[in-house]
Amino acid sequence: MATKSKPEGRLLYAQSGGVTAVINATAAGVIEAARVKGVPVYAAHNGILGALREELIDTTKETKAAIAALRHTPGGAFGSCRYKLKSLDANRAEYERLIDVFRAHDIRWFLYNGGNDSADTALKISQLGKAMNYDIRCIGVPKTVDNDLAVTDCCPGFGSVAKYTAVSTLEASLDVASMADTSTKVFILEVMGRHAGWIAAAAGLAGEGADAPPHIILFPERPFDEAAFLAKVKATVERVGWCTVVASEGLLNAEGQFLAEAGTRDAFGHSQLGGVAPVLAALVKEKLGYKYHWALPDYLQRSARHLASKTDADQAYAVGKAAVDYALAGMNAVMPVIVRTNDAPYRWKIESAPLTKIANREKKMPASFLTKDGFGITAAARRYLAPLIQGEAPPPYGKNGLPQYITLKNAMVARKLEPFGK
């Protein structure tokens, strides 16, 4: 039963861009917090496209247990998309359509869960209220495995891919070490990270000291120096017996070109990468003659909820809950961000930050995080990264040996408007 103090209207939540192991934990935070306040939540099907197409999911049809299970389910439960709204001048019709949909369904709060591009979209929508005479509060909610959002100390989604990467580097290195005498001497692990080497840096947590893996990390922040790379591979194999290399997909040559340019681009104009590892492996074979193996876990790294960081899963939930609190308190054009208050023991809290300081900006790794030779991480990087992979938050497993991931009913809300555009 609605009470007098219940806020009027509905809240719309949408997931944007590449999904993560914990973006659904944020969805759980949003929906559970809104339920406490008596605010019904709709979710846009496939991100902002669902809002444009009036494809809205009624989350009130989901059980409490189903929403709770989102907290341990990877992927995007309502669908996500890569679709960037143009500027208000360039495509006013899209913004007018969004307001039409909001108005038709009494959407008073819009929470947009994504990265840099999504923060920009959220900012534009937050400004629509005045421009189009409709009272809408828009909150950006952080999410990206790339860890490249400004202001926030870290990004939900990153801690889990960081943990996956560090653990995988450690495990594969134990394998390589066992066999190096007669088999593979150089193992190359390619990780995500278009323009910032945060994920590659996290691999550095697998070990410490010159002889511990990974022996070489290749960052997009440092142009690839073939001679220095080969010299270090050779020295490592001669000293340790084998060598583990972690390479960022965004590794650039001296001319600033991706070593593994695939030549296709996504809707945001980003290059679609993949395959720097085989390029490096061929180089090692040709120039040094070592037997190699390489791995490219691709989506496995960002969907590995089975190996999520508890810190990350907790933060993902917390930003969802905070976003609801901010929205219902009448805040607009802000994002809940993670503020670190202590390194060891790790302490953090959530605060709000203006979207103007986040939209379209990209946080690079501090230069102080890379060793002088550019092939490793410093103590400062370890201090920053270490807390983010701490703690385990395994999903429940069924008797069949698989994690019990939830598939929601995703009941669609009846349309009230004519179809939009195409």
Restricted to residues 63-122, the positions that interact with a copy of itself (CB under 8 A) are: 73-77, 79-83
Please tell me whether residue 287 binds a copy of itself under the rule CB under 8 A: no
The single residue among 43, 141, 243, 296 that binds a copy of itself, judged by CB under 8 A, is 296
Number of residues this chain uses to bind a copy of itself (CB under 8 A): 74
Stretch that binds a copy of itself, among 15-23, 326-334, 347-355, 371-379 (CB under 8 A): 15-23
The single residue among 386, 412, 415, 420 that binds a copy of itself, judged by CB under 8 A, is 386
User: Catalytic residue among 146, 153, 312, 314, which?
Assistant: 146
Angle at 206 between CA 24 and CA 394, to 5 degrees: 30
Whether residue 244 is annotated as binding a ligand: the answer is no
Whether residue 123 is annotated as binding a ligand: the answer is no
Whether residue 116 is annotated as binding a ligand: the answer is yes
Three-state SS at 309: strand
Strand (E) or helix (H) holding 41: strand 41-44
Whether residue 18 is annotated as binding a ligand: the answer is yes
Taking residues 305 to 344 in sequence order and writing x for each that binds a copy of itself by CB under 8 A, - otherwise, the string is xxx-x-x---------------------------------
- C-beta separation of 84 from 268 below 8 A: yes
Q: Cα separations (Å) of 403 from 77, 230, 301, 308?
A: 16, 41, 16, 12
Q: Which is nearer to a copy of itself, 40 or 297 (CB)?
A: 297
Strand partners, 349: 339
Angle at 74 between CA 72 and CA 79, to 5 degrees: 125
Q: Which is nearer to a copy of itself, 42 or 326 (CB)?
A: 42
Is 146 one of the catalytic residues?
Answer: yes
The single residue among 46, 118, 147, 315 that binds a copy of itself, judged by CB under 8 A, is 46
Please tell me whether residue 397 binds a copy of itself under the rule CB under 8 A: yes
- C-beta separation of 315 from 294 below 8 A: no
Q: Which is nearer to a copy of itself, 264 or 360 (CB)?
A: 264
Tally of CB atoms within 10 A around 87: 10
Please tell me whether residue 283 binds a copy of itself under the rule CB under 8 A: no
125-153 in b/e form (b: 16+ CB < 10 A) is bbbbbeebeeebbbbbbbbbbbbbbbbbb
Give how far the C-alpha of residue 136 lies from the chain's centroid of Cα atoms, to the nearest Å: 26
Q: Cα separations (Å) of 241 from 170, 176, 312?
A: 16, 10, 35
Whether residue 236 is annotated as binding a ligand: the answer is no
Stretch that binds a copy of itself, among 220-228, 264-272, 320-328, 366-374 (CB under 8 A): 264-272
Identity of the amino acid at 257: Q
H-assigned helices in 188-275: 198-203, 226-240
Whether residue 15 is annotated as binding a ligand: the answer is no
- C-beta separation of 355 from 125 below 8 A: no
Please tell me whether residue 36 binds a copy of itself under the rule CB under 8 A: no
Stretch that binds a copy of itself, among 59-67, 93-101, 132-140, 180-188 (CB under 8 A): 180-188
The single residue among 209, 256, 269, 401 that binds a copy of itself, judged by CB under 8 A, is 401
The single residue among 63, 87, 183, 371 that binds a copy of itself, judged by CB under 8 A, is 183
Q: Cα separations (Å) of 46 from 55, 78, 110, 112, 113?
A: 8, 6, 15, 12, 12
> Would you list which residues are annotated within the binding site for substrate?
144-146, 192-194, 249, 299-302
Q: Would you name the residues annotated as active-site residues?
A: 146
